[in-house]
Amino acid sequence: MATESEKPSNYKSSIHKLSNKPSLLERLSNFLLREPEDREQLVELLHAAYENSLMDADSLAMIEGVLQVSEMQVRDIMIPRSQIDVIDITDPPEVFIPNVIETAHSRFPVIEGNKNDVIGILLAKDLLRYYAGEDFEVRDMLRPAVFIPEAKRLNVLLQEFRSNRNHIAIVVDEYGGVAGLVTIEDVLEQIVGDIEDEYDYDEDEDNIIQNAEGQFRVKALTEIADFNDIIGTSLSDEEFSTIGGLIVNKFGHLPKRNEEVSFSGIHVKVLRADSRRLHSILVSVTPEPDVDDDGE
């Protein structure tokens, strides 16, 4: 074996060059040495870093999401009061449990009489006691509800969710009335994009799946031509190529989960959507086609 003195003269220099090779973080830091004066310049630098292969697209999207969260308020992403799935404590279990099963959420606000009177949060898993034959009293299983103002910034809310190990908060307006609901998933989706949940499809599954009730679960990226073939509709694809684009146009805004709209003989309910795009819908064929605004 060659001794240290017998090794090639360029051996040490090669090792030295290898050890001095800057890491990704160092290269990115050097690229950002030009201190940005405002957020716009920072975003430009980040995009330039991406174009120079200093970060991948996912990393860029997450950093932009973090910047966005720091400027957004709870009111920007909350589920509005009208769309909150609640449990009324005055109802017996046999009345509200079917709704729990249908909506498939893991947590439910519990009210007493009306949606302004939220008395706690019920975890769906606690309902297993009902089927186990144990003494079952909903009021004894409630977790405290957290109330937050509409104007709370998302980065502050995320920090509170983490420190308190809480996953859901009730949003109240300036008069103390319930304005909506927000979850930790809603906040994280602003950073990392949509998070898979109970309505997600396997990527290998078909774009359109019919359930036992005769309704169709449809991916928003489904081509309108394919949608027409399977559902039996005759929607035009001249202006939009995907059913998601057409649905968003019908709403007139990017819809949130559980928003509904009817047109051209179908009723559409949003299953999955985030602040960036529509993901999936539930379609029911109505007995008689609705008349479009233009009378056709």
CATH number at residue 112: 3.10.580.10
Q: Are 181 and 245 contained in the same domain?
A: no
Looking at residue 21, its pLDDT comes to: 59
Cα dist. 5→1, 8, 11, 16, 259 in Å? 11, 8, 10, 16, 76
Contact 107, 123 (CB under 8 A): yes
The residue-averaged pLDDT of 24-29 equals 60
Rounded Cα gap, residues 185 and 174, in angstroms: 25
Q: Are 134 and 226 contained in the same domain?
A: no
Q: Are 212 and 137 contained in the same domain?
A: no
Residue 295 in domain? no
Cα dist. 80→76, 150, 180, 195, 225 in Å? 10, 11, 4, 20, 33
Q: Predicted confidence band at 204 (pLDDT cuts at 50, 70, 90)?
A: very low
Domain of 231, CATH number, reads: 3.30.465.10
Q: Retrieve residue 173's tokens.
A: 């307006």
The residue-averaged pLDDT of 132-161 equals 89
The residue-averaged pLDDT of 143-164 equals 92
Final residue belonging to a domain, choices 135, 158, 192: 192
End-to-end CA distance of the chain: 89
Residue 219 in domain? yes
Rounded Cα gap, residues 121 and 89, in angstroms: 11
pLDDT over 80 at 141, yes or no: yes
Rounded Cα gap, residues 170 and 261, in angstroms: 26
Contact 170, 148 (CB under 8 A): yes
Q: Are 217 and 116 contained in the same domain?
A: no
pLDDT over 60 at 85, yes or no: yes
Looking at residue 262, its pLDDT comes to: 93
Looking at residue 177, its pLDDT comes to: 92
Looking at residue 15, its pLDDT comes to: 46
Q: Are 140 and 248 contained in the same domain?
A: no
Contact 138, 94 (CB under 8 A): no
Give the count of domains, the chain: 2
Q: Are 226 and 188 contained in the same domain?
A: no
Residue 129 in domain? yes
Q: Retrieve residue 89's tokens.
A: 């404590």
Nearest CA to 172 among 184, 182, 180, 163? 180
> Which DSSP letter does residue 23 get?
P
Q: Are 169 and 81 contained in the same domain?
A: yes
Residue 58 in domain? no
Q: Which domain holds residue 235?
A: 208-285
Nearest-Å Rg of the Cα atoms of the chain is 26
Residue 88 in domain? yes
Q: Predicted confidence band at 33 (pLDDT cuts at 50, 70, 90)?
A: low
Residue 16 in domain? no
Residue 136 in domain? yes
Contact 84, 103 (CB under 8 A): no
Q: Are 186 and 80 contained in the same domain?
A: yes
Residue 35 in domain? no
Q: Are 173 and 273 contained in the same domain?
A: no
Rounded Cα gap, residues 219 and 199, in angstroms: 10
